[in-house]
Amino acid sequence: MVRFENVGLRYGIGPEVLRDISFSIEPGSFRFLTGPSGAGKTSLLRLLFLALKPTRGLISLLGRDVATLPRGELPKLRRRIGVVFQDFRLLDHLTTFENVALPLRVAGERLSRYRDDVMELLTWVGLADYANAYPRVLSGGEKQRAAIARAVIGKPDLLLADEPTGNVDPVLAIRLMRLLVELNRFGTTVVIATHDTNLISQVEAPVITLERGTLRGIG
């Protein structure tokens, strides 16, 4: 599913922010990605959701070599990846319902086929009453829940989450983790980047630890 071999990444002519990163993630597995601020977690996630290509080394993602992937095939591969960003990235001109349904619309699904699924998911994350609300009236925690719902609505092959519970209370954090665990049980590979040791303790899963751009260990 995911394989990194001696991957390095630099921005422009600066020093490498990731160095000699090698690991593999089997299909259908669950992984945490952790490390102190500046360790390279966000940069690694950007490689995983194809926002960047490595400066050196090999990345195989969903059976494809990222370095040789034709530009025209990137959108199709990205549709198999769900991403929860720290800054939410909701579209201000769309309602909560429309933001969550966006991956299905992009994939060509008709409203009549996904309306009930979107509302069911909004109910599960506690946003059913905000289905017609726009992002500007949502709190940070509500935006986070909408972002998670959007990332999982299409049942992606790979789900990447950057601090997915950073803006919600502990009770809701547990509920959202259950959603991610349930998605994993249905076959989605899940990678969660987090500083939260309490969050990591809730799921028995390997932890990929970065430190200063290098892989400190997997345990």
Q: What is the pLDDT of residues 195-204, one digit of tens each?
A: 888 888 888 8
In a domain, 69, yes or no: no
**Distance from C-alpha of 88 to C-alpha of 23, rounded to nearest angstrom:** 28
**Distance from C-alpha of 192 to C-alpha of 194, rounded to nearest angstrom:** 6
Strand order in the sheet with 56-61: 16-25, 2-10, 56-61, 64-65
Q: Which residues contact 197 (CB under 8 A, 6 or more apart)?
A: none
In a domain, 22, yes or no: no
**Distance from C-alpha of 116 to C-alpha of 110, rounded to nearest angstrom:** 12
Domain count, the chain: 1
| CATH number, domain containing residue 187 | 3.40.50.300
Task: Enter the pTM of the model.
Answer: 0.88
* CA–centroid distance for 65 within its chain: 20
Provide the residue-wise pLDDT of the chain in tens; the chain has 219 residues.
Answer: 899 999 999 998 889 999 999 999 999 999 999 999 889 999 999 999 999 989 999 999 998 998 888 888 888 898 899 999 888 899 999 999 999 999 999 889 999 999 999 999 999 888 999 999 999 999 988 998 899 999 999 889 999 999 888 777 888 788 888 888 888 998 999 999 998 888 888 888 999 999 999 999 887
In a domain, 135, yes or no: yes
In a domain, 45, yes or no: no
In a domain, 194, yes or no: yes
DSSP one-letter string for 115-127: HHHHHHHHHHTT-
In a domain, 46, yes or no: no
Start-to-end CA span in the chain (Å): 19
Domain that holds residue 128: 28-39+74-218
In a domain, 68, yes or no: no
In a domain, 20, yes or no: no
